């Protein structure tokens, strides 16, 4: 029905078979801890046949019977086969210029990306032949598993590495997945901060990630005397030259507290907000404050958020070998991760090394700032749209043109 064309459906925590219709522009349906849903509005992506409405026609009974018999014979003969295509969100790759980089032959080859999420379900057909390094911080599984509601981690991974239907934006990366989140008693995806921090350290120390992708986050505590374990683990990573891309959060709108999620608030982290098709900033994308807790102003290119990327109605791999649509800054984070992976493939000299100190991150972020497509009218930065929309091809061109040293 036309009136339900723009709503999304969320499973009820008590019974996932019961779906509630949700307006994706509404604020407040996400969970309290942003790590569980920093971009979580899932529904199964099924093919829909739209029919033109027309007036009913009274048909002669004999004519109808003849047609029915003929149709039955054709169906039984196997000569008639109708297959409906699944929807896709290829527009997101076009809007962020990732399709241009794919046309140039960039696939993420040789770049190591680590995702901290709910895990991954490799039984999906789109992951056939994919090799993933998996570490379980949620349970004790030795084989890849997804602990999330409708497989949040699997959705995020599909944006990167899907090999079928909708090819991932960086399909040839070397992927590590740390399962640190899972469905809690409230039916939401969440996780202990200490566990998430441990997973981030695993990505850096054992998987040797070039990029850590975090479609998660917790709320900032302005009264805290010291930063939490997740922020500390993230700061350690970026100060060692490991890129961290993190979701800004989903509390935009009238109730926005003006703070991006933790650890997206760490200066060298690339903090990502979400855009809609057509470049507008998603209403629920979190705004950022341009001062630290102590009142010190943030400096360029580290104002928050830094960038926005597609994050509304993104089609990706989900549970039970299905394709789902998801909205939020989780999805947007992965598109920026993909763009960064393609950049590091093209310019591997910016990858972390044993002597890295974060200077290369600063240089790459400066290029991101200068290549973004502004979505605001005044000033270099905007609290909601950051420096602008991701333009991945322009980002790499800016690196090529300026050749920053680090």
CATH, residue 364:
3.40.50.200
Cβ contact 174:112 at 8 Å: yes
Helix, strand, or coil (residue 243): strand
Among 17-31, 155-169, 285-299, 365-379, the range scoring the smallest mean pLDDT is 17-31
Whole domain around residue 265: which residue ranges?
8-45+86-402
Other beta carbons within 10 angstroms of residue 350's beta carbon come to: 23
Answer whether residue 73 is part of any domain: no
At 126, the pLDDT band (50, 70, 90 cuts) reads very high
Q: Each residue of 280-291: pLDDT tens digit?
A: 999 999 999 999
156 vs 135: CA distance, rounded Å: 16
Residue 151 φ/ψ, nearest 5 degrees:
55, 65
> Over 50: is that where the pLDDT of 293 sits?
yes
Q: What is the pTM of this model?
A: 0.82
Answer whether residue 252 is part of any domain: yes
Task: Indicate left, alpha or beta for 114 from its phi (over 0: left) and psi (-120 to 50: alpha).
Answer: beta
Taking residues 155-176, what's their average pLDDT?
A: 97
> Over 80: is that where the pLDDT of 7 sits?
no
- Count of domains for the chain: 1
Report the percentage of the chain scoring pLDDT > 70: 79
SS (H, E, C) 69-115: HHHHHHHHHCCCCCCCCCCCCHHHHHHCCHHHHHHCCCCCCCCEEEE
* C-alpha distances out from residue 308 to 128, 305, 356, Å: 31, 8, 27
Q: Decide which of 331 and 70 is more confident.
A: 331
Answer whether residue 311 is part of any domain: yes
274 vs 335: CA distance, rounded Å: 10
- Cα 231 → chain centroid: 20
- Residues 6 or more apart in contact with residue 291 via CB below 8 angstroms: 297, 298
Cβ contact 375:279 at 8 Å: yes
Among 26-35, 127-136, 183-192, 233-242, the range scoring the smallest mean pLDDT is 26-35
- Residues 6 or more apart in contact with residue 399 via CB below 8 angstroms: 343, 346, 347, 350, 364, 367
Gyration radius (Cα) of the chain, Å: 22
b/e sequence 241-256, b meaning 16+ C-beta within 10 Å: bbbbbbbbbbbbbeeb
At 1, the pLDDT band (50, 70, 90 cuts) reads very low
Answer whether residue 262 is part of any domain: yes
**Which DSSP symbol is given to 282?**
P
312 vs 383: CA distance, rounded Å: 19
| pLDDT score for 85 | 66
Answer whether residue 54 is part of any domain: no
Residue whose C-alpha is closest to residue 313's, from 93, 8, 1: 8
């Amino acid at each position: 029905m036309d009136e339900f064309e723009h709503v999304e459906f969320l499973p009820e925590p008590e019974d996932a078979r019961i779906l509630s219709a949700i307006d994706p522009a509404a604020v407040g349906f996400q969970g309290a801890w942003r790590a569980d849903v920093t971009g979580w509005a899932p529904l199964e992506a099924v093919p829909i046949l739209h029919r033109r409405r027309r007036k009913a026609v009274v048909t002669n009974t004999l004519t109808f019977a003849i047609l029915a018999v003929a149709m039955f014979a054709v169906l039984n003969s196997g000569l008639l086969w109708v297959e409906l295509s699944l929807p896709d969100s290829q527009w997101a790759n076009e809007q962020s210029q990732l399709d241009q980089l794919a046309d140039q032959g960039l696939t993420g080859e040789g770049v190591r990306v680590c995702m901290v999420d709910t895990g991954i379900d490799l039984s999906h057909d789109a992951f056939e032949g994919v090799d993933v390094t998996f570490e379980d911080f949620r349970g004790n599984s030795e084989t890849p598993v997804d602990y999330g509601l409708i497989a949040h981690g699997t959705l995020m991974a599909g944006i990167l590495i899907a090999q079928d239907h909708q090819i991932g934006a960086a399909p040839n990366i070397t992927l590590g997945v740390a399962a640190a989140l899972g469905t809690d008693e409230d039916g939401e995806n969440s996780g202990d901060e200490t566990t998430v921090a441990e997973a981030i350290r695993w990505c850096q120390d054992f998987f040797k990630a070039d990029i850590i992708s975090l479609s998660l986050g917790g709320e900032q505590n302005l009264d805290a005397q010291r930063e939490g374990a997740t922020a500390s683990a993230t700061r350690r990573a970026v100060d060692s030259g490991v890129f961290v891309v993190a979701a800004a959060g989903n509390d935009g709108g009238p109730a926005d507290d003006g703070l991006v999620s933790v650890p997206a608030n760490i200066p060298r982290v690339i903090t990502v907000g979400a855009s809609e098709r057509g470049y507008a900033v998603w209403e629920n994308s979190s705004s950022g404050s341009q001062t630290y807790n102590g009142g010190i102003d943030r400096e360029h290119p580290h104002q928050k958020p830094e960038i926005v990327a597609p994050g509304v109605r993104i089609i990706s791999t989900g549970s039970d070998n299905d394709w789902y649509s998801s909205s939020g800054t989780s999805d947007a984070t992965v598109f920026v991760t993909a763009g960064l992976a393609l950049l590091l493939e093209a310019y591997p000299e910016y990858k972390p090394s044993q002597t890295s100190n974060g200077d290369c991150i600063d240089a790459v972020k400066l290029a991101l700032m200068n290549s973004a497509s502004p979505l605001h009218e005044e000033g270099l930065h905007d609290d909601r749209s950051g420096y602008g929309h991701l333009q991945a091809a322009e980002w790499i061109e800016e690196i090529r043109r300026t050749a920053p040293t680090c």
